[in-house]
Amino acid sequence: MTSLDRLVGSVWQSPVFGDSYRCTTGYRAFAEKMRDVHSCFIEKFRPIVRDGLPDFEPAQIERLLRQTGPKTTAFCSAVAVEIEDVERLAAVSVVFGLLFLCDSLMDGGDLAMVAAVHRLLEAHTPDLCIPAANNAKPLASGVLRSELDAARAPCPDPAIVEARFGALAALAGLLPRLSYPEDAQVLLESPVAGFLSHGSAMRQLSQRYLESEEDAFWDAHADDLVAHAIGSIQTAGTVAVVYSLYRGARPELPTLEQVLANPAVAHLCERAVDAAARIFDDVGDQDVDRNAGSRGRFDLNIFNHPNRKLVESYMRFVGIEDDDVVARTLSDFHLDSRAGDDRIVGRFVDVVRDGVARLPAECWRDAGVFLMLCKRIIESGYVNTLGDTALAE
């Protein structure tokens, strides 16, 4: 069984809802389609990455393709299981592949990519603000500018920045071709700008933690870390990109703006689902994040830094203020054990299930396809409890 097969099986068998997939019977035909999507993805992705990373050796490029291809194509094919258009599935996979690559490079200290992202946001989302603590709403592009200003490394080579920007321009150019004009700007704002700017804020907070006295850091920044860690998940935008495939086949479906204008749908995505997905991701990454040297960087991870103020802020974010529940969750974090981790994950699975169950009936009537995809993306997020290393094998 290949890594693609294992990933799809894990998503379809995820226990969060149990009813997210009703059409997974013809696996052999699906597997053939998925391999076609992967081949098409590689054909589209390789030249973008090669041109965007002229400072990388060919062997490094191929390694990046191997790391990125199976995860992104399995994700898109398994979530958009009804879509048969291989070219469009591959194009959506390229969108997510470029976001993953861009984030990975910036996390690794690639200032040329940081500069290219700053340029992209200034060009395409100059007025976009992202939520932070205490009702602050910094400009997304300004967050990237702060990261560049704080960097202690020399300014990146302008030619390399230009090459990186070329890859991002390919990303920005794909979105209008995948969607209707009224949806394209929404997709640029979320997930693209939202994901990349919240990720930048997270890197800056992780660096500030290393340079600060611990108690003072949490007093000042626990709420900010929660806002940016959860905000970086961008479930609504991720669903929106996949939803564009369905709206392309069924133009009568509501626009993204109409779907996300529903407060209940937006609240579900931005609170319960984003928070749970961050927990799923962090529990899978905690061992890698403990060993900063393995990736050349330090990342704050709630499982490795279960400060009381951080955990309380996290629970408040999803509306849990019961002192007993908060205390038990904090105790489970401090156990630093598989049993404790499983209870934390289970608690957030319950948060998501409850959030979905509480949606008014009219949400399902008006945004049923979007919500179906949202449930599937929650299932795929749950698979992240395995960790990125396992998923890339």
Residue 316: band (very low, low, confident or very high) from pLDDT cuts 50, 70, 90: very high
pLDDT for the residue 263 = 97
Burial 313-346 (b: 16+ CB within 10 A, else e): bbbebbebeeeeebeebbebbeeeeeebbebbbe
* Rounded CA separation 147/135 (Å): 21
The residues spanned by each domain of the chain are 3-11+27-392
pLDDT for the residue 389 = 46
The string of pLDDT tens digits covering residues 163-201 is 999 999 999 999 999 999 989 999 999 999 999 999 999
Which range (18-32, 33-47, 127-141, 246-260) has the least confidence?
Answer: 18-32
* Rounded CA separation 111/115 (Å): 6
Model confidence at 69: pLDDT above 90: yes
The string of pLDDT tens digits covering residues 99-111 is 999 999 999 999 9
3-state secondary structure of 212: coil
pLDDT for the residue 295 = 57
Q: Which residues pair with 241 in a beta bridge?
A: none
The string of pLDDT tens digits covering residues 334-369 is 999 999 999 999 999 999 999 999 999 999 999 999
Residue 24: band (very low, low, confident or very high) from pLDDT cuts 50, 70, 90: low
What average pLDDT does the segment 147-151 reach? 95
* Rounded CA separation 134/60 (Å): 42
Model confidence at 372: pLDDT above 60: yes
3-state secondary structure of 262: coil
DSSP 20-71: S-S----HHHHHHHHHHHHHHHHHHHHHHHHHH-TTS-HHHHHHHHHHHHHH
Helices (H), ranges, the chain: 3-12, 27-52, 58-79, 86-107, 111-124, 140-150, 158-178, 181-187, 194-210, 214-231, 235-249, 256-260, 263-267, 274-290, 308-317, 323-335, 338-357, 361-382, 388-392
Average pLDDT, the chain: 92
Residue 30: band (very low, low, confident or very high) from pLDDT cuts 50, 70, 90: confident
Which CATH fold would you assign to the domain 3-11+27-392? Farnesyl Diphosphate Synthase (1.10.600)
Model confidence at 203: pLDDT above 60: yes
Model confidence at 27: pLDDT above 80: no
pLDDT for the residue 303 = 97
Residue 297: band (very low, low, confident or very high) from pLDDT cuts 50, 70, 90: confident
Model confidence at 96: pLDDT above 70: yes
- Is there a contact between 381 and 275 (Cβ–Cβ < 8 Å)? no
What percentage of the chain reaches a pLDDT higher than 70? 93
